[in-house]
Amino acid sequence: MGSVRRRRFVAGLLLAPLLTGCFASGGSSDGASSPGSGSGGRLRMALAFPPTENFSPYGADATLLSRLGVTEGLTRLDGNGAASPALAESWSRESDGSWLFTLREARFQDGTEVTPESVAAALTHAASATPVPTALAEVKLTATPSGDHRVRVTTAEPDPALPFRLAGPSMAVLSPKAYAKDAEGGKDAEGSKDAEGPKSSASKTDGSTKRGAVNPVGTATGPFELTKVTGSTGATLDRFDDYWGGRAHASGIDARFIADGTARANALRSGEEDIAEAIPVAQAASLAEGAAHEVSTTRNTSLHLNTRSGPFKDPRFRAAARRAIDTSVLAENVHEGHADPAQGIFGPALTWAKGKRAKPVGRAEAALGKDVKGTTLTIATYDNRPELPEVAQVLQQQLEKAGFTVKLTVREYARIESDALAGKFDAFVSARNTMLDTGDPVSALSTDFTCDGSYNLALLCDRGVDRAVATADSLVDPGKRQDAAMAAEARILGTDAVVPLVHQRIIVGVAPAVRGVTLDPYERALATASTRR
């Protein structure tokens, strides 16, 4: 497509409203209507990533279950990123380490009632899973029933972010049947790692709370019940008529897992599918008018510089690398205008961050000049997301222009994550949804940039950063917590351990007749009870 036509197409998408709730496809005014009588037909969906862990809720498949409307937790994130009611209709903090959640009346898809006992058991299973779900990577959680319709959740250390953690897809509440050792489909499996977050790999296990032994088929609480899984090619979901939020409009969902983006776009274009996620930029303009919907996400692409060994142990070399990078080129050329040049760790999808960003603190600005010339470094990335190798190639050119000698290493994510975390590369290009695991900005900073962080790709250990993150983590008020998170971001950016590159957007393809699809910057929701055609 010519540059003029591309710019017009991009401009049209940029004029589309950013929504975190439902939108009305095709111009209808009732796209955000409440669930109704449930007389609609079945939805056909093309999804980009197949299940890799037998649909276990504790790993990467948790997000898939959430996007299909199968699972729910006690809380969810609203459009402003705040924790809001889901299976819990309210909650209160009793003390630093204790929270009391009041449950709404609801049923599991196997017909049993959602009780304090069943919720406590579900949370206990999640807390004892191996490996631990990423939402609980930094806390030790205990859940106990507390009278009628109440569950008490305690943590070993004070955790003001607990309501955010419980909104994570991996904290789904399932019925007791899901955790039975002999549950159908509950065989252990060895899956892949989450390409945008802390280590969440499924390992072969033999306990009932181990990752592979949890069966969400017919045991969740969402508007759609998972009834059949066809390996890694598809899944069948039927409407759950007793859903507490009202019967879904659609009678069910027929999902297909199509890895190739062009094939997903073709399936939507031909009418084989009603919804197709992650449409490639090159395919979006060929869809029917109004079918391409773009949304900013909390997924950022960043360059993490190894602060423990190699040339980037010296902050002056990190500063030289950061000054050599032009992020506008990455947003406009590599992403063809479907990304925003990086503003920091937290991007424009997080509306609360606007106007709160502070100047980086303690940044080294001493020029190295000729001292950079001849310095050899290795940049690594993965090809699961096709734009990342191209980003790495552009960075190679920009850094070599500044005097560095750069080698590239590209592998599948599952074959490169452990080496990256071990510091075997000088720099690592990664796409990371900062809000996917907990929805709490402070927890994301703690995981990714503190001395004990479980996904610290830069191997950063800076006491000033740790103090800033700890200060933010001590605050309960959401607004003050966000302010402190931005102050901690300024400390992190001041180390030049990470160079934010672009804030990503995604394009969701939706047939003109479909209504009520959710455009979620957190990438947790897609189909809900309101989605229909």
Separation between Cα atoms, residue 450 and residue 439, nearest integer Å:
18
Q: Does the pLDDT of residue 412 top 60, yes or no?
A: yes
Percentage of the chain modeled with pLDDT above 70: 86
Separation between Cα atoms, residue 179 and residue 156, nearest integer Å:
25
Which H or E run contains 301? strand 292-305
- The structural domains of the chain, ordered by start, are 71-204 (3.90.76.10), 298-504 (3.10.105.10)
- Each as own residue / partner, the long-range contacts of residues 88-96 (CB below 8 Å, 24 or more positions apart, any chain) are 88/151, 88/166, 91/163, 93/476, 94/152, 96/158
Residue 517 has what pLDDT?
96
CB hemisphere CA count around 349 (13 angstroms): 33
> Of 526, 15, 55, 11, which Cα lies nearest the Cα of 273?
526
Q: Does the pLDDT of residue 528 top 60, yes or no?
A: yes
Q: Which DSSP string corresponds to 153-209?
A: EEESS--TTHHHHTTSGGG----GGGG-TT-TT---------TTSS--------STT
| 368 band by pLDDT with thresholds 50, 70 and 90 | low
Distances (CA, A) of 53 to 59, 191, 203, 389: 7, 5, 9, 26
Which residues make Cβ contacts (< 8 Å) with residue 206, sequence separation at least 6?
188
Per residue in 43-53, pLDDT (tens digit) is 999 998 888 88
> Of 110, 101, 506, which Cα lies nearest the Cα of 294?
506
Q: Which of the pair, 211 or 390, is modelled with greater confidence?
A: 390
Residue 231 has what pLDDT?
86
CB of 525 within 8 A of CB of 67?
yes
Per DSSP, the chain holds a count of helices (H) and strands (E) of 13, 19
The number of residues making up the chain comes to 533
Within a 10 A sphere around the Cβ of 34, how many other Cβ atoms? 12
Handedness of CA 299, 520, 13, 389 (dihedral sign): positive
Percentage of the chain modeled with pLDDT above 90: 57
Q: Does the pLDDT of residue 418 top 70, yes or no?
A: yes
Pair type for strands 42-47 and 275-276 = parallel
Q: Considering the chain, what is the average pLDDT of its residues?
A: 85
Q: Mapping DSSP to helix (H, G, I), strand (E, B) and coil, where does residue 508 land?
A: strand
Q: Does the pLDDT of residue 184 top 90, yes or no?
A: no
CB of 302 within 8 A of CB of 498?
yes
Q: Does the pLDDT of residue 149 top 80, yes or no?
A: yes
Per residue in 152-172, pLDDT (tens digit) is 999 998 888 899 999 999 999
Calculate mean pLDDT across residues 363-388: 81
Q: Does the pLDDT of residue 370 top 80, yes or no?
A: no
Calculate mean pLDDT across residues 441-458: 92
Separation between Cα atoms, residue 455 and residue 221, nearest integer Å:
31
| 3 band by pLDDT with thresholds 50, 70 and 90 | very low
| 23 band by pLDDT with thresholds 50, 70 and 90 | very low
Residue 213 has what pLDDT?
75
| 35 band by pLDDT with thresholds 50, 70 and 90 | low
Q: Does the pLDDT of residue 436 top 80, yes or no?
A: no
Separation between Cα atoms, residue 388 and residue 378, nearest integer Å:
15
CB hemisphere CA count around 294 (13 angstroms): 22
> 189-203, 306-320, 336-350, 357-371 — which one is most confidently predicted on average?
306-320
Calculate mean pLDDT across residues 495-508: 94
Q: What are phi and psi of 19, to 5 degrees?
A: -120, 140
Residue 265 has what pLDDT?
93
End-to-end CA distance of the chain: 31
Pair type for strands 339-341 and 498-510 = antiparallel
| 369 band by pLDDT with thresholds 50, 70 and 90 | low
- Alpha-carbon torsion angle 57, 63, 68, 73, nearest 10: 60
Structure tokens at 424: 């075997």
Q: Which amino acid appears at position 491 of this protein?
A: R
CB of 135 within 8 A of CB of 437?
yes
> Of 245, 47, 73, 83, which Cα lies nearest the Cα of 169?
73
Q: Does the pLDDT of residue 196 top 60, yes or no?
A: no
Separation between Cα atoms, residue 168 and residue 436, nearest integer Å:
7
Q: Which residues pair with 428 in a beta bridge?
A: 304, 380
> Of 146, 95, 138, which Cα lies nearest the Cα of 119?
146
Residue 146 has what pLDDT?
95
Calculate mean pLDDT across residues 374-389: 89
CB of 277 within 8 A of CB of 256?
no
Q: Which of the pair, 258 or 221, is modelled with greater confidence?
A: 221
Calculate mean pLDDT across residues 48-76: 91
Separation between Cα atoms, residue 412 and residue 22, nearest integer Å:
34
Residue 36 has what pLDDT?
56
Q: Does the pLDDT of residue 533 top 90, yes or no?
A: no
